[in-house]
Amino acid sequence: MKKELPNGIEYEVIIPRKGIIKVGTDDEPIVAFSGRNARIQYRLISFALEKSSLIEETYIPGNLSQTEEDLITEWMKIHVSSLFQEIGVKHYIKFHANYKCYYDFLTEELYEANGVREKKGRINGEPFKLPLSDRVIIEALTRYPKSAQTFDDLVDYTALAYPGQRFVLESSMNQKMNTFRKYDDSLRQTFKGTLIKKYTYEGMPSIWAIGLDVNEISLTIKKIFNIVAYGEMIAFFRKESKEINIRMIGETSPMEVLLFLGFDDGLFDYNITDLDKLVNSNSFTSVEGINAFFNRYCVSVNALWKQLEQNIKENLSLSLSASTYYSETKEYPATMDDLREYKPTSERLERSLKQICSEVSELIVNTSVGEDYFDKCDIEVKSDNVIDYTIALILACFSNANTTINESEISTSKNRFRNRLRDLIQNNPIFNYSPEDGSKNVFEWQIEEIRRLLDQVRLEIIEAGLNESVITIDKIYDLINKQSYKDDNSLLPDNKNRRI
């Protein structure tokens, strides 16, 4: 690779961090060229997407001619794919948190599918390369999650992203979608078509990552518990029975995980779902149960937040007290009175909170929840706010919870709760939300807010069966999409004339 560069110029790839990478930020891997008094650096993923990628602050041309600088640019274009492989860059989309199936944009293959391929039978998880029409459906619809697109939009995408190639005929589009959705249950759940020939994607966002397995991007309540409940034992107080409960970390049940994380008996009905599936995979086994939770707290999530904060702080303090009591007496405390002399000092409690800050921060940046709920937030987890970040993550797990029974029956209540949670995070100064920061300007942020509100209205209209009104909403979508939409994870560059 080096011999194609101008004489005296060498390259190195700098990886600021591993995990989920946000395009256009300092998280991106950098390709740095140096020699002959020159220093030229490009953000690798941004370069591949033909977005602004030259790092102006470190640009030193040295004694390179313009022709030689152009040679470096051409070298980058030729070797983007090789550089991705060299450092392990991945770009994929896991459609649904409850299923293993995902699509790799770089290899153009579908992995872990559990359905069938037409004329080829069961897939059984074997990876296979998707035909052009399927790739267009995934790439075009996942650029604009929850935004309706027409058949013509898919044809236009094909012409721009795959010059010279043709999409399916309009008369066979419904058949194509049906065939595509048979590949996996997650595709049935997330790719939707309507009688008015509109198509949407309603699943998880695409991810750029380095050194992160696709199955690691999903946040679960158990992952949060494993970070917050460090040490040998936990303690929590059940207000209903007025009893203190002590458990060794490795012996906690799913119910005890939730109790420790603040959901005492008055906040959560433990009879509405399979707790193991809720804690380990964010899955409700009861439509009625998840709807009851969303409907109860979509209007009072702030009150829930405050109660969880109080309970978690109390349980962390009790856990430290119980640990000290056990280390000195070799017995478990039986009552609250046993712990009165072992209350931790404020300094010890602060030290314990500091110990979990970095891991809570990693949960945000290395799982899909960061993009969903903390976009445009300046994340700074400290001992005095780590509980708030923990609560935000816990509620995000509930907000992203699904049921494999009938997802459509929870869409309205789920979206209300999710939007309320986002609003709460954005309006809380702890999370340093600033819509003007980052790659989107105020206008683009306002467009996204309008689209989010339209999503909610559209779902409610569909629930009410008012199809004529849905057509009106979709027309508004079309007007908005023609004005502006910028997706930093899209494979289609800004100038819409090439693909990786």
- Coil, helix or strand for 38? strand
Contact between 413 and 299 (Cβ < 8 Å) = no
CB-CB neighbours of 331 under 10 Å: 9
Among 368, 476, 358, 325, CA closest to 22? 368
- Coil, helix or strand for 236? strand
Encoded amino acid at 418, one letter: R
pLDDT, tens digit, for every residue of 137-163? Answer: 999 999 888 788 899 999 999 998 899
pLDDT, tens digit, for every residue of 422-448? Answer: 889 988 999 988 875 444 444 555 666
3-state SS record for 414-437 = HHHHHHHHHHHHHHCHHHCECCCC
CATH 1.10.10.10 in the chain: give the residue spans: 91-214
Contact between 210 and 21 (Cβ < 8 Å) = yes
pLDDT under 50: residue ranges of the chain: 1-2, 437-442, 484-500
H helix intervals, 252-300: 254-260, 275-281, 287-297
Hey, what are 69's tokens?
A: 């600088």
CATH topology assigned to domain 91-214 = Arc Repressor Mutant, subunit A (1.10.10)
- Coil, helix or strand for 254? helix
What does the pLDDT read at residue 50? 87
Angle at 476 between CA 206 and CA 51, to 5 degrees: 40
Contact between 141 and 130 (Cβ < 8 Å) = no
- Which residue's structure tokens are 């994607």? 201
What does the pLDDT read at residue 491? 47
The pTM (predicted TM-score) of the whole model is: 0.66
